[in-house]
Amino acid sequence: MEFRPCIDIHNGRVKQIVGGSLRDEGNAAEENFVSEKDAGWYASFYREKGLRGGHIILLNPADSAYYAQTRKQAELALSAWPGGLQVGGGITAENAADFLEAGASHVIVTSYVFRDGRVSWENLERLVSEAGREHLVLDLSCRKKDGGYYIVTDRWQKFTDVAITAETIARLQGFCDEFLIHAADVEGKKNGVEQDLVSLLGRLDTVPVTYAGGVGSYEDVRRIKAAGKNRLNVTVGSALDLFGGPLSFEKILQICRE
């Protein structure tokens, strides 16, 4: 089990938000934490700790008045640790190479691939052609509906008709190097993980998977470790002391590495 750090950027600032509160209209979100430090500081910190594979997420759409500031912060983080971090948020076949050239190890994609409620295999193949499978992370961030977990797009605001199942994972894993899965309903709430989702992911034999969402205690990390059979990687955001939360960064690392 690896700890995968995060740098979430909204309106040009490093933040931790309640995932389900994010709205493009008005560039609004319920904030748990707004950092006085820039994204480059966090990237340098993760580099010093030797933590690879963390994700930078741009939480503003490309047409937002804040997008340029948000992207500048992302590029600052990438330049602070070339090859050490992944980046997502508005990634397409047209701009993927730009982020890779700026220093991203991988690009993270949801909305470009999951279009009009389903998988756009054409867009997925175009991405693989432009970025390379070895540089692609598919973000299968999801919310619960009708007893299942369905992939959501456009900064977790729109449901697709694609459920996270063993069949879905099996079909998609040949196109990417990793999966990133935010449990958007509990993202930023710090009151427990989506245990059913974690258990489902733990049963799959697939490319590396990073789970994010709801971690609020050390026991939550241990639950992910157990249910994921020590194969699931984990991200902790709002609950981490780096972002004003109660959980020790060093203690989380220790549990992951035990």
- Interatomic CA distance for residues 175 and 40, integer angstroms: 30
pLDDT in tens, 2-56: 999 999 999 999 999 876 777 777 887 788 899 999 999 999 999 999 999 999 9
Q: Which pairing describes strands 6-10 and 54-58: parallel, antiparallel, or unpaired?
A: parallel
pLDDT in tens, 66-121: 999 999 999 999 999 999 999 999 999 999 999 999 999 999 999 999 999 999 99
* Radius of gyration over every alpha carbon of the chain, rounded to an integer in angstroms: 17
Region of 173 please: left (phi>0), alpha (psi -120 to 50) or beta: alpha
Domains of the chain with CATH codes: 6-257 (3.20.20.70)
Check if the beta carbon of residue 128 is closer than 8 Å to that of residue 177: no
pLDDT in tens, 184-234: 998 878 889 999 999 999 999 899 999 999 999 999 999 999 998 888 999
Which burial class, exposed, middle or buried, applies to 85 when counting CB atoms under 10 A from its CB (0-12, 13-18, 19+)? buried
Q: Return the H-helix or E-strand segment holding 17.
A: strand 13-17
